[in-house]
């Protein structure tokens, strides 16, 4: 994995710009993601853990609706572990794959009760030992549940990091490792929230709004693809205007009606 010195040298600039856009008060609890809102509303790592599992392949607004319904009835690990499976499915139905996620969150809840007295562990290693918990979920719980600096990487963070040239990695897991190697630790807590907001607002997966981006001078994606495409389109238009009219087209000597 290689990195762009040009982009990496500008990490403080990138973080300042994104904070001004999306976290002007500098408080992660003011973020727009479902996990930031869950953290603000409950300050409960268990809610963050369950919310992260439910958020997989689901829009934020659906995650918020499902977690609000679920936690209004089952507020902690013990209650959720003992809940009727059909009722859990009903409550989390707004999220995708709710049939699969209902038994998953109940299984995690039972293990938390058995191993930790219903509490969520606060170390990466212990979280990774739980079922349905991968690196992204563990890091989300540490960041949003405990305020411990880590860099969760979802599709938005993966895309933005690689487009800017901060890293060059094929998978979110490799992007996570690369980001933690180049981004100063003081920025870790905010990276996920800010990059997700930027990825939804400006650096979109389809038709990114490059004209609204202040990172164009050093953005790898803009230099490599957008500017080159714009140059090619301009050359194509110029060539089309300079080409002689085709035989038989309007205005050609042989095109008049007889």
Averaged confidence pLDDT in the chain: 90
Question: For the domain that residue 76 is a member of, what is the CATH number?
Answer: 1.10.340.30
The answer on 110 and 8 residing in a single domain is no
Instruction: With respect to residue 166, please indicate whether it lies within any of the assigned structural domains.
Output: yes
Instruction: With respect to residue 252, please indicate whether it lies within any of the assigned structural domains.
Output: no
pLDDT tens figures, 97-133: 999 999 999 999 999 999 999 999 999 999 999 998 9
Instruction: With respect to residue 204, please indicate whether it lies within any of the assigned structural domains.
Output: yes
Instruction: With respect to residue 80, please indicate whether it lies within any of the assigned structural domains.
Output: yes
For residue 59, is pLDDT > 50? yes
For residue 178, is pLDDT > 80? yes
pLDDT above 90 covers a percentage of the chain that reads 81
Last residue of a domain, one of 117, 148, 179: 148
The answer on 15 and 77 residing in a single domain is no
pLDDT of residue 5: 56
Domain that holds residue 37: 31-148
Question: For the domain that residue 165 is a member of, what is the CATH number?
Answer: 1.10.1670.10
The answer on 135 and 39 residing in a single domain is yes
Q: pLDDT band for position 241 (50/70/90)?
A: low
Last residue of a domain, one of 128, 148, 168: 148
Select the more confidently predicted residue: 8 or 59: 59
Residues in Cβ contact with 99 at an 8 Å cutoff, skipping those fewer than 6 apart = 89
Instruction: With respect to residue 88, please indicate whether it lies within any of the assigned structural domains.
Output: yes
Last residue of a domain, one of 126, 148, 170: 148
The answer on 49 and 144 residing in a single domain is yes
Cβ pair 183, 166 in contact under 8 A: yes
The answer on 141 and 50 residing in a single domain is yes
Dmax over CA atoms of the chain, in Å, equals: 96
Average pLDDT of the segment spanning 48-75: 96
Cβ pair 8, 220 in contact under 8 A: no
Residues listed for the chain:
258
pLDDT tens figures, 125-163: 999 999 989 999 999 999 999 999 999 999 999 999 999
The answer on 235 and 174 residing in a single domain is yes
Work out whether the CA dihedral 38, 196, 141, 122 comes out positive or negative.
negative
Q: pLDDT band for position 216 (50/70/90)?
A: very high
Q: Tell me the C-alpha distance between 240 and 62, whole Å.
A: 49
pLDDT of residue 257: 43
For every residue of 206-241, DSSP letters joined together read SS--GGG-TTTTT-HHIIIIIHHHHHHHHHHHHHHH
Select the more confidently predicted residue: 6 or 78: 78
Average pLDDT of the segment spanning 53-71: 95
């Amino acid at each position: 994995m290689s990195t762009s010195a040009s982009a990496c040298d500008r990490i403080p600039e990138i973080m300042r710009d994104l904070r001004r856009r999306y976290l002007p008060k500098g408080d992660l609890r003011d973020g727009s993601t479902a996990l930031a809102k869950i953290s603000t509303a409950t300050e409960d790592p268990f809610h963050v853990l369950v919310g992260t599992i439910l958020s997989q392949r689901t829009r934020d607004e659906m995650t918020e609706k499902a977690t609000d319904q679920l936690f209004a009835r089952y507020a902690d690990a013990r209650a959720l572990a003992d809940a009727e499976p059909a009722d859990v499915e009903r409550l989390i139905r707004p999220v995708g794959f709710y049939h699969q996620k209902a038994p998953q969150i109940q299984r995690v809840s039972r293990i938390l009760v058995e191993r930790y007295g219903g509490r969520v562990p606060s170390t990466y290693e212990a979280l990774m030992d739980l079922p349905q918990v991968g690196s992204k979920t563990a890091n989300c719980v540490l960041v949003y549940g405990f305020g411990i600096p880590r860099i969760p990487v979802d599709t938005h963070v993966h895309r933005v990091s690689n487009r800017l040239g901060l890293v060059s990695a094929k998978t979110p897991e490799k992007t996570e490792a690369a980001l933690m190697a180049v981004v100063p630790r003081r920025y870790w807590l905010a990276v996920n929230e800010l990059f997700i907001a930027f990825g939804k607002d400006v650096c979109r997966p389809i038709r990114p709004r490059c004209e609204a981006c202040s990172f164009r001078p050093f953005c790898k994606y803009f230099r490599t693809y957008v500017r080159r495409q714009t140059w090619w389109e301009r050359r194509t238009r110029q060539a089309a205007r300079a080409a002689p009219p085709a035989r038989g087209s309007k205005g050609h000597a042989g095109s008049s009606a007889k």
